[in-house]
Amino acid sequence: MNKKKIIPYGKQNITEEDIVAVSKALVGDYLTQGPLIKEFEEHFANYVDAKFAVAVTNGTAALHLSALALSIKPGDKVITTSLTFAASANCIRYCGGEVVFVDIDPNTFLIDLDQVQKLLSNSPKGTYKGIIPVDFAGRSVNLEQCKKIADEYGLWILEDACHAPGASFIDSNGVSQKAGNGKFADLAIFSFHPVKHIATGEGGIITTNDEKLYTKLLTLRSHGITRDAAIFTNSIEQAGGSLIDITYPGWYMEMQELGYNYRITDFQCALGLSQLKRADDGHKKRIEIAHKYDLAFQNASKIKSPGLEISANFVDQHAYHLYVLLAEDRLGLYNHLKANGIYAQIHYYPVHLMPYYRSFGWKENDLPFVESYYSKCISLPMYPTLTEEEQVFVIETILNYYK
Ligand SMILES: Cc1ncc(COP(=O)(O)O)c(C=O)c1O
């Protein structure tokens, strides 16, 4: 039987080099907590221009640990966007906080910072604790503007940069600022799920320039346990150590707060390190693919390629995790593509309209721009190994549908 080739919207790229790197880690001395974790963290921090990185089991764990490190408490109000994967908001709920969704700017699809400012200025100071902006589709939020607002009202910033390794915005001095570089946000998180730029199977990372938060994250990642004798609170006697030598026993470690096991493994980091070497090439390929889509759809009447229309002057490098079209008769187009083996995807059903968040009172028409965006958006195949022939097939299949 001649099996029809499926073209997904996103796909990992595993090379011989990756396989060799992982195989070497598998037969090495460490399967879980080995030296490749720190090496991967250092290389990734370097890649995004941040000082520190903490690799974890997935992007959701990265969000959860960040929410804990930023001390979200029950009842704390935290602002985020509804145009994201649910995990960006869920991390607030994990800590008992209240999620306050703000609409998107219809030009960039990013959280509308003017609306954030308005919300804050209309509330008593201290009402809101933090903001979680999302670099949606791979376009970096203007974090300089975000930080100005956050500083004015005493908010922390947790940047969800899952879509944006390699993305950047231009600050007011004309300097390019990479997503996740820690200069504006307190913490940033990334995911290494296979559809993302760098894959480790499941995987995620938190970047920061704040050494205190970094140390706290390391402890929270591993049960809240520390091995640092300088900060032990139990006495040497309580630990069963020698009062003559005045030392803690060699085996002793202390659980000082409630943490988790969100540790990534050494062989996953071997894959991450190998993938990271090709991150710039993959990003370049994504930009090429996006430009071809832009050109192909520039004169189409029933579909809009928003990439061509972005007027925001802060956008520098778009990471193109997603390439989104706004299409009339989106359902018809989706089904037509699927019938032709092209598995487009919708990013995202608005998070505030998910049944879980409706149960907090969120409803239709609360966020008109997100809802109008959802009625038309469709993500086209976008990954470095998408061939020219496949892309032409995707483009022709779309244009034919509207003929
Ligand atoms: C914007 C965003 N935030 C968070 C996550 C969660 O990452 P993970 O799937 O690695 O838990 C994702 C992944 O889909 C995402 O796209």
Q: How high is the pLDDT of residue 316?
A: 84
Contact residues for 56 (Cβ-Cβ < 8 A; gap 6+):
62, 65, 203, 204, 205, 206, 221, 262, 263, 264
CB 388 within 8 A of CB 101: no
Atom of ligand 1 nearest to the CA of 84: 1
* Ligand 1, atom 8: closest residue by C-alpha: 59
> What does the pLDDT look like over 298-320, one tens digit per residue?
999 999 887 655 556 677 899 99
CB 40 within 8 A of CB 272: yes
197 C-alpha to ligand 1 centroid (Å): 12
* Ligand 1, atom 7: closest residue by C-alpha: 59
| Residue segments in the chain with a per-residue pLDDT below the cut of 70 | 1-3, 307-313
Q: How is the beta sheet containing 187-191 ordered, strand by strand?
A: 52-56, 204-208, 187-191, 156-160, 128-132, 77-81, 98-102
Atom of ligand 1 nearest to the CA of 347: 16
d(CA 394, CA 204): 31
Atom of ligand 1 nearest to the CA of 87: 4
141 C-alpha to ligand 1 centroid (Å): 17
Atom of ligand 1 nearest to the CA of 193: 10
131 C-alpha to ligand 1 centroid (Å): 17
78 C-alpha to ligand 1 centroid (Å): 18
CA 187: distance to chain centroid? 11
3-state secondary structure 307-365: HHCCCCCCECCCCCCCEEEEECCHHHHHHHHHHCCEECECCCCCHHHCHHHHCCCCCCC
187 C-alpha to ligand 1 centroid (Å): 15
Q: How high is the pLDDT of residue 238?
A: 96
CA neighbor of 143 nearest in space, from 171, 122, 164 = 171
d(CA 303, CA 274): 38
List alpha helices for 70-171, DSSP H.
Answer: 87-94, 113-121, 143-153
- Using most ligand atoms within 8 A of CB, pick from 58, 63, 85, 198 the residue to mutate for ligand 1: 85
Around ligand 1, the residues with Cβ closer than 6 Å are: 58-60, 84-85, 87-88, 134, 160, 162-163, 191, 193, 204
84 C-alpha to ligand 1 centroid (Å): 9
CB 117 within 8 A of CB 146: no
- Looking only at the bridges linking them, the beta strands covering 168-170 and 176-178 are antiparallel
Q: How high is the pLDDT of residue 271?
A: 98
- Residue 37 gets the label, from left (phi > 0), alpha (psi -120 to 50) or beta, of alpha
Count of other CB atoms within 10 angstroms of residue 94 = 15
267 C-alpha to ligand 1 centroid (Å): 21
